[in-house]
C-alpha cells in the first residue's frame, strides 16, 4: 500500500539554520521539496564566507576519506559510531587520515608495480628466454640494431614479413624465428640503425608485437637480464601475496575509522548543500518537505525538544489530486514485500493512485507453477532456493557470477532474502501443479508406471489448458480496465473514464465476435451481449467529443491482443513439458541403464537451466506490459520517498 503523506513546513530564524539542518538530518524523516515561495524576497542564498570555507574544508576531508576507502580492500565491518568524529574540526580529521593515506598509497603503488611486472613476465618471459641467445651477439653494436617481436603463426606470415622487410631495406635485414607456442612465433629482426624508420612501420602493419625488456633490466647484459627476470618470476607471487596481506591488515585496522570520517564528512557536506538550497529571507528560512503522516508527530516533537518555540512546524495532508510532487513510500506486510522487487525497476506508482504489488503476489507464483508444473523441476527450483538462502544467511553481498559469466550486479543480503521468499512461493506452486499434472521430470511417471493417469494431463487436455491461460488474460485485462475506471472516477477525469469504458466494451466486442466465429462460444447467447458492448463503445466514442478518441478503435483491437497474449502461459508451459519429454527420450535411447539415466539427467538440468529465467520473466512481462498498460501505470508514476538523513540511515 502507498503510505499516507503530509506536507510539512519548517520555519525558523536564519541563525538556527545550520542547527535545524542537523536536527532534520538526524530525524531522517523529511523528504525535502525544493520549491520557491511566491514571494521573490524569499529565495535560496549562497553560503556566507565562513560557511563556504567550512564546506570546502570538510568536502576535502570527504574526498580524501573516500579515496582511501577506494584503495583499502573491502571488508565486512560492524556499524561504526560517528559521534566522536562529528565534533572534530576538519584539520583534526585530516590529521587522522594522513598516515593511513600515505601507507595505503605506498602499498597500492608497490602492489600495482609488482602485478604489472608479473603480467609482463607472463606475457613475454618465455619469449625473452627464447630470443635472448639470438639478441645477445648484437647487443651494444653501434651500427646494427636487433629487436624481438611476437608474430601470429599464420601460414605464410613469416615469409611475407621477410619479403616486405627486404623490400623496404633493400635487403639490409636478417629475420630469425623460433616457435613460442602453437599460435605464436618469437622473431628477431636485425637491421641497420639507419633503416629503423622503415622497418618499424612494416612490422606494425604485419601485426608484430615488440618485446620490450622491463625498465629495471634494460641496461643489463642479456644473459644477466634473463637470469634476473627468471628470479623475479619465482619470487613475485610471494611478494604480491605479501603486499595484499599488508593492505588487508591496514584495512582491518583503519577502515572502520576512515569509514566513520567519510560518513561524518559526507553528512556535513549534505547539510551545507541543503542550507544553500533553502529559501530564506534576511532574518528567517523556510524548509518545505514531505513526511509520512504517522511520523509527523515525531518530527514536530524532535524539533520542539531542541528548539522550543524558536522553530515552528506546520503540516497538512498531501493532496490526492494533482499529487505530482508528493513522494511515494510503499509499506506492505512482510509476506508481500518481496513482490515489491517487480516494481523496483520502475518509478513507483503516483501518490493518490494504488500499489499493484498485491496483483504480482496473487498471479506470479501461480503462473510460474502453471508453466513449470513438474515435481522434479520443483526439486531443482527448491535446490536453487536453498542455495540462495544459504548465501543470504551468510550476510554478505553476492556478486552474481554463474558459470564464469559475470552478470554485472551485486545482490545484498536483504535482496537475496526477498528473492528466496519469491522462489519459495514459486516452488510451492510448481509442486502443487506438478502433483495435479502428474509430472516428475516430464512423463517419467507414465514411462515407469504404464497405468498411471494424472488428475489433469496437459497434453490430453491441451484445449482446456489453453482456455485457462486465456481466461487469466480476460480476468487480468478486465481488472486493469476496472482499476482505470475507479481511478478516473476518484480523480474526476471524464476522458479517462470514457476511454476505459470504450476499451472494456470494444475489447469485449472484438473478443466475442472472434470467439463466436470460431464456435468457441455460442452465437445465440453472446450475440446480444456483443451488440450491447458495441453500442456502449460507440456511445463512449461520441461522448468524448474528441478526434483523438478515434484511436480507441485501434486500442480496442489491442485490448483483444492483450487478452490473447496470455496464451503464452499455455505455450511456454507446453514447451516446458515437451523439452522434458525430449530429455526422457534421449536418455531412454541409451542402451546402458546407468548411462541413460545420466544422459537424461544432464538433458533435464540443461533444459531447466536454459528455460527457468524465461518461465519467470514471461508472467512478469504479462504484468508489466499487458496488465499495467490497462490502468496507465507508466503514465501515472511518481517519485520515491527519499528523506534527508544521515548516510547510515535515520534516527
pLDDT (tens digit per residue) in 583-630: 999 988 888 889 988 999 999 999 998 888 899 999 999 999 999 988
Q: Which residues of 412-431 are buried (b: 16+ CB within 10 A; e: fewer)?
A: eeebbbbbbbbbbbbbebbb
Per-residue confidence band for 496, with pLDDT thresholds at 50, 70 and 90: confident
Query: pLDDT at residue 531 above 70?
Result: yes
pLDDT at 317: 92
C-alpha cell at 568: 503464452
Per-residue confidence band for 168, with pLDDT thresholds at 50, 70 and 90: confident
pLDDT at 526: 72
- Angstrom distances, CA of residue 282 to CA of 39, 275, 289, 327, 350: 13, 14, 21, 30, 37
From the number of C-beta atoms within 10 Å of its C-beta (0-12, 13-18, 19+), residue 591 rates as: exposed
Query: pLDDT at residue 457 above 60?
Result: yes
pLDDT (average), residues 457-466:
91
Asked which of 59-73, 458-472, 517-531 is least confident by mean pLDDT, the reply is 517-531
pLDDT (average), residues 514-528:
73
How far is it, in rounded angstroms, from Cα 444 to Cα 102?
66
pLDDT (average), residues 530-550:
74
pLDDT at 223: 58
Contact 428, 369 (CB under 8 A): yes
Largest CA distance in the chain: 106
Of the candidate CATH numbers 3.20.20.70, 3.30.230.10, 3.30.70.2750, 3.40.50.300, the domain formed by 115-233 belongs to 3.30.70.2750
pLDDT (average), residues 23-38:
86
- Cα dihedral sign for 291, 295, 298, 300? positive
Query: pLDDT at residue 65 above 90?
Result: yes
Query: pLDDT at residue 398 above 60?
Result: yes
CA neighbor of 559 nearest in space, from 519, 612, 499: 499
Per-residue confidence band for 558, with pLDDT thresholds at 50, 70 and 90: confident
Asked which of 45-59, 111-125, 229-243 is least confident by mean pLDDT, the reply is 111-125
| Domain limits, the chain | 5-90+246-317, 115-233, 339-633
Query: pLDDT at residue 159 above 60?
Result: yes
Q: How far, in whole angstroms, is CA 616 from its chain's centroid?
A: 17
pLDDT at 296: 94
Contact 619, 571 (CB under 8 A): no
Query: pLDDT at residue 229 above 90?
Result: no
Its pTM surpasses 0.95: no
Amino acid at each position: 500500500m502507498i503510505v499516507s503523506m503530509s506536507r510539512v513546513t519548517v520555519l525558523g530564524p536564519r541563525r538556527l539554520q545550520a542547527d535545524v539542518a542537523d536536527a532534520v538530518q538526524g530525524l531522517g524523516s523529511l523528504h525535502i521539496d525544493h520549491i520557491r515561495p511566491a514571494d521573490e524576497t524569499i529565495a535560496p542564498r549562497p553560503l556566507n564566507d565562513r560557511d563556504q570555507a567550512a564546506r570546502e574544508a570538510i568536502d576535502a576531508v570527504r574526498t580524501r576519506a573516500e579515496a582511501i576507502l577506494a584503495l583499502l580492500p573491502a571488508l565486512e565491518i560492524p556499524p561504526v559510531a560517528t559521534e566522536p568524529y562529528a565534533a572534530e574540526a576538519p584539520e583534526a580529521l585530516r590529521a587522522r587520515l594522513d598516515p593511513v593515506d600515505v601507507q595505503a598509497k605506498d602499498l597500492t603503488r608497490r602492489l600495482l608495480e609488482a602485478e604489472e611486472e608479473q603480467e609482463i613476465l607472463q606475457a613475454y618471459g618465455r619469449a625473452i628466454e627464447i630470443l635472448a641467445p639470438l639478441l645477445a651477439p648484437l647487443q651494444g653494436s653501434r651500427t646494427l640494431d636487433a629487436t624481438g617481436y611476437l608474430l601470429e603463426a599464420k601460414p605464410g606470415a613469416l615469409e611475407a614479413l621477410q619479403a616486405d622487410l627486404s623490400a623496404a631495406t633493400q635487403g639490409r635485414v636478417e629475420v630469425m624465428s623460433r616457435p613460442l607456442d602453437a599460435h605464436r612465433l618469437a622473431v628477431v629482426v636485425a637491421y641497420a640503425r639507419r633503416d629503423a624508420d622503415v622497418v618499424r612501420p612494416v612490422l606494425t602493419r604485419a601485426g608484430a608485437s615488440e618485446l620490450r625488456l622491463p625498465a629495471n633490466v634494460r641496461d643489463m647484459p642479456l644473459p644477466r637480464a634473463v637470469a634476473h627476470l627468471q628470479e623475479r618470476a619465482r619470487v613475485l607471487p610471494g611478494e604480491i601475496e605479501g603486499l595484499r596481506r599488508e593492505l588487508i591488515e591496514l584495512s582491518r585496522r583503519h577502515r572502520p575509522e576512515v569509514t566513520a570520517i567519510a560518513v561524518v564528512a559526507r553528512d556535513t557536506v549534505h547539510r551545507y548543500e541543503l542550507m544553500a538550497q533553502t529559501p530564506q529571507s534576511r532574518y528567517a528560512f523556510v524548509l518545505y518537505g514531505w513526511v509520512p503522516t504517522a511520523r509527523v508527530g515525531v518530527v514536530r516533537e524532535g524539533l520542539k525538544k531542541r528548539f522550543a518555540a524558536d522553530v515552528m512546524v506546520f503540516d497538512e495532508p498531501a493532496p490526492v489530486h494533482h499529487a505530482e510532487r508528493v513522494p511515494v513510500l510503499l509499506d506492505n506486510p512482510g509476506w508481500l514485500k518481496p513482490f515489491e522487487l517487480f516494481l523496483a525497476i520502475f518509478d513507483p506508482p503516483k501518490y493518490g493512485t494504488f500499489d499493484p504489488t498485491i496483483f504480482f503476489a496473487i498471479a506470479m507464483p501461480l503462473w510460474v507453477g502453471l508453466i513449470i508444473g513438474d515435481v522434479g523441476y520443483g526439486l531443482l527450483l527448491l535446490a536453487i532456493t536453498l542455495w540462495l538462502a544459504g548465501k543470504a544467511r551468510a550476510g554478505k553481498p553476492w556478486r552474481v557470477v554463474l558459470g564464469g559469466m559475470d552478470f554485472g550486479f551485486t545482490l545484498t543480503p536483504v535482496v537475496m532474502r526477498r528473492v528466496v521468499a519469491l522462489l519459495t512461493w514459486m516452488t510451492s506452486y510448481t509442486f502443487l501443479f506438478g502433483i495435479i499434472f502428474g509430472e516428475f521430470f516430464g512423463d517419467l511417471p507414465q514411462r515407469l508406471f504404464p497405468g498411471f493417469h494424472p488428475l489433469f494431463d496437459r497434453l490430453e487436455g491441451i484445449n482446456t489448458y489453453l482456455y485457462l491461460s486465456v481466461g487469466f488474460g480476460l480476468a487480468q485485462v478486465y481488472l486493469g480496465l476496472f482499476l482505470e475506471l475507479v481511478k478516473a472516477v476518484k480523480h474526476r477525469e471524464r476522458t479517462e473514464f470514457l476511454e476505459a469504458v470504450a476499451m472494456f466494451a470494444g475489447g469485449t466486442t472484438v473478443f466475442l465476435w472472434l470467439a463466436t466465429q470460431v464456435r468457441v462460444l455460442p452465437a445465440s447467447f453472446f450475440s446480444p451481449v456483443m451488440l450491447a458492448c458495441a453500442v456502449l463503445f460507440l456511445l463512449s466514442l461520441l461522448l468524448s467529443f474528441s478526434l483523438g478518441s478515434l484511436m480507441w478503435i485501434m486500442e480496442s483491437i489491442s485490448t483483444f491482443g492483450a487478452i490473447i497474449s496470455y496464451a503464452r502461459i499455455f505455450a511456454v508451459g507446453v514447451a516446458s513439458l515437451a523439452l522434458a519429454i525430449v530429455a526422457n527420450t534421449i536418455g531412454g535411447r541409451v542402451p546402458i541403464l546407468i548411462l541413460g539415466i545420466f544422459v537424461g539427467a544432464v538433458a533435464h538440468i540443461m533444459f531447466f537451466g536454459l528455460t527457468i529465467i524465461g518461465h519467470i520473466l514471461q508472467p512478469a512481462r504479462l504484468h508489466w506490459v499487458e496488465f499495467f498498460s490497462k490502468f496507465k501505470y507508466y503514465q501515472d508514476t511518481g517519485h520515491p520517498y527519499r528523506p534527508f538523513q544521515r548516510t547510515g540511515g535515520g534516527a
